[in-house]
Structure 1
Amino acid sequence: MDQLAALRALRRVVELGSFTAAADAMGISHTIVSRQVRQLESHLGAQLLNRTTRRFALTDAGRDYYEASRQILDALDEADRNVGRHQARPSGTLRINAPMAFGVLELSNWLPEFIAQYPELHVDLVCNDRIVDLIEEGFDVGLRLTRELPDSTLVARRLGSSRTMLVASPAYLKRHGHPATPDDLARHNCLTYTQVARPNDWNFAMPDGSRKTVTVKGSFQANTGIALRGAAVAGIGIATTASFIVQPELDRGELQEVLPAYPMKPRELYALYPQNRHLSPKVRAFVDFAVSIYNKP
């Protein structure tokens, strides 16, 4: 038995969900894949998969063995790629997905430098504020600002944090007053960002170290921070936003920070990419470049 081939067959079966899909991906027959997994079980003296006529599930032993073997295969693949890493030059098309506000206001500041550094690379940037399936839609890497990543098979590389804050125009605050505590927001028109799980629940750090959630309401909600910024500048209400979206308006005095003594939980910036492509030269180059941007002294 070729144990390495059997390990790769088991991994493909588990990740693709069927023996047929694994066989197609590996370019071999269903019979060979099935035989490799059976030989592996015989070698181990343990059943790895519970099979029925239509589906399968990992046994407890199979789950432990799969996780351990996946790490071994990843380490082996990493070692293989390390041999030629310095000889590989990023090329081809790099498809990047990013939130609209981040792509327009933040990524555009440093992406040109990355493009200039890798002239053989063609970058296709797609910005939107809907939930995107990176694998289904053919993206190499996605940038996400979030407080909580969903369970996923994607690799997540944390790049940094983005401060979340409340802002309003001086005219709005003159008309309606400055809230002194989070509870005062119940009397204000609050502008909410809908691309989060509970857009009307705003969470604050209290002076005693505890956290407090208040439920707000208002006349306007949007799935992009750019629209909320415009509404706040126009004096419609108090908006929750990432600081990078409104920093120019704060500097010009068009917006003022609200409740600075009660900070909101920041969002974390991640680069996400599929496991089967996370070490390709173009993805590695982009992620390493992003890390260098957000970890400057």
Structure 2
Amino acid sequence: MAAPSRTRLNSGLLHAMRLFVAVVDARGFTAAARQSNLTPPQVSRMIAELELRLGTKLLHRNARSVTLTAAGEQYLRKCRTILELVEEAEGEARDTVVRPAGTLRVSSMTSLGRHYVQPVIVEYAQRYPGVKVEYLTRQYPPDILAEGIDSSLFFASDLTASSLVGRKVAGARALLCASPDYLAQHGTPTRPEDLLAHSCIKLTSVPARYWELTEGVSTVSVPVRSVLDCDTPDAVLLAALAGLGIGLFPSWVVIDSLRSGRLVPVLPRWRTPEVGVYLLIPSRRLLPAKTRAWIDLITSRLPFALARDERIATQLAVSQSGASAD
């Protein structure tokens, strides 16, 4: 038989969790009580019963504020996840038969969007004619809460926007390319360190002085001399085609140029480390049907398209450079 302290809150455990989160977010019992239409003593008693149930202290209390204990910090993270999942489950149960409707605001980085997101938007619009789609391009993660954006796709080594919900849906690596005319005039690098003697065309999102390249287990950080900084891969492509220098490109940007021979691979066995493609949403709580439908569609299309083009670009680079190119 369960101990009384374990069974005491079984019927109101979610309520106690919500109050605990409210106390932390409001930084005090009084504000949390006001938000919950309770009295501070009622909230205090509920938190005390929760601590009794768990057998550990969750909060340090003083006259001015409350702070989390180590156990409280860990419990808070779990509480937030559990409460979000409960609300999501209830929302999905209520909205199961609801068709997507309203306005869907989607954003993406320009080049990624042009190659991959826009075709999926067309498919989405055809499937759900009751939804108006607004498509925005951003080179950096937008403030999706302030701008009312339902979903955003962007590149990042890791997800640091802790106030938002992100899901890694794919990965991408960049390869080095240059025009044949540039290499004929300036020579072809045979090792990463040779880039020091070359003109390079850089993305402004890449750290100012260094290119990080990897070949299996070997990774090097090479300082490069930038002759032009661009904020989109497509702009880097135009500069490289004009013979201004060596550029780093996502696979989808250079496939056509590699096929035509207007660009050739440089150090084809060296690539950048993988960068994640993240799908960002304001919250996983109570997602409307329009957003769930978009997430399902884009995550069913984007990873496979990126993997396909990564494979094609790699095959083209290896076949054009030969086994001993580097």
Give the TM-score band, short-chain normalised. 0.7 to 0.9
Aligned to 1:202: 211
The percent identity for this pair of structures is: 32
Aligned to 1:241: 249
Cα shift at 1:250: 2.2
Structure 2: gaps of 5 or more residues: 1-8, 309-326
Task: Assess if the C-alpha contact under 8 Å between 1:249 and 1:255 holds in 2.
Answer: yes
Aligned to 1:130: 140
Residues 4/277 of structure 1: CA separation in 2 closer, same or farther (3 Å cut): closer
Cα shift at 1:193: 1.2
* Pairing of 1:283-294 with structure 2 (within 5 A): 283-294=291-302
Matched, 1:260 2:261: no
Match of 1:59 among 69, 73, 86: 69
1: CA distance, partners of 2:39 / 2:261: 66
* Pairing of 1:48-127 with structure 2 (within 5 A): 48-50=58-60, 56-127=66-137
Match of 1:191 among 187, 194, 201: 201
Match of 2:223 among 207, 215, 225: 215
2: CA distance, partners of 1:36 / 1:103: 52
Structure 1: gaps of 5 or more residues: none
TM-score (norm 1): 0.85
The DSSP-based 3-state class of the residue aligned with 2:227 is coil
Cα shift at 1:6: 3.5
Cα shift at 1:105: 2.8
Cα shift at 1:202: 1.4
- Report Cα offsets for 1:228-250 as digits up to 9, x if no partner: 11111111111112111222222
2: CA distance, partners of 1:168 / 1:19: 63
Cα shift at 1:35: 4.8
Cα shift at 1:23: 7.4
1: CA distance, partners of 2:156 / 2:208: 13
Q: How many residues align?
A: 291
Task: Please identify, of 120-129 and 61-70, the stretch whose mean Cα deviation from structure 2 is larger.
Answer: 61-70
Cα shift at 1:161: 2.0
Residues 38/278 of structure 1: CA separation in 2 closer, same or farther (3 Å cut): same
Please tell me whether Structure 1 or Structure 2 has the larger radius of gyration of its CA atoms.
2
Residues 126/15 of structure 1: CA separation in 2 closer, same or farther (3 Å cut): farther
Q: In structure 2, what residue type is equivalent to 1:294?
A: L
Residues 53/240 of structure 1: CA separation in 2 closer, same or farther (3 Å cut): farther
Task: Assess if the C-alpha contact under 8 Å between 1:49 and 1:62 holds in 2.
Answer: yes
Match of 2:47 among 31, 41, 51: 41
Q: In structure 1, what residue type is equivalent to 2:209?
A: N
Q: In structure 1, what residue type is equivalent to 2:256?
A: P
Q: In structure 2, what residue type is equivalent to 1:288?
A: D
Cα shift at 1:257: 1.9
Task: Please identify, of 198-207 and 99-108, the stretch whose mean Cα deviation from structure 2 is larger.
Answer: 198-207
Cα shift at 1:179: 0.8
Residues 256/272 of structure 1: CA separation in 2 closer, same or farther (3 Å cut): same
Task: Assess if the C-alpha contact under 8 Å between 2:20 and 2:47 holds in 1.
Answer: no
- Report Cα offsets for 1:82-136 as digits up to 9, x if no partner: 4234312111111112112112232122220111111111111110213422223
- Report Cα offsets for 1:169-217 as digits up to 9, x if no partner: 1211111111111010000011111224x2432122236x221111112
2: CA distance, partners of 1:254 / 1:105: 20
Task: Please identify, of 150-159 and 255-264, the stretch whose mean Cα deviation from structure 2 is larger.
Answer: 150-159
2: CA distance, partners of 1:136 / 1:117: 28
The DSSP-based 3-state class of the residue aligned with 2:48 is helix
2: CA distance, partners of 1:241 / 1:17: 47
2: CA distance, partners of 1:36 / 1:96: 43
Residues 271/258 of structure 1: CA separation in 2 closer, same or farther (3 Å cut): same
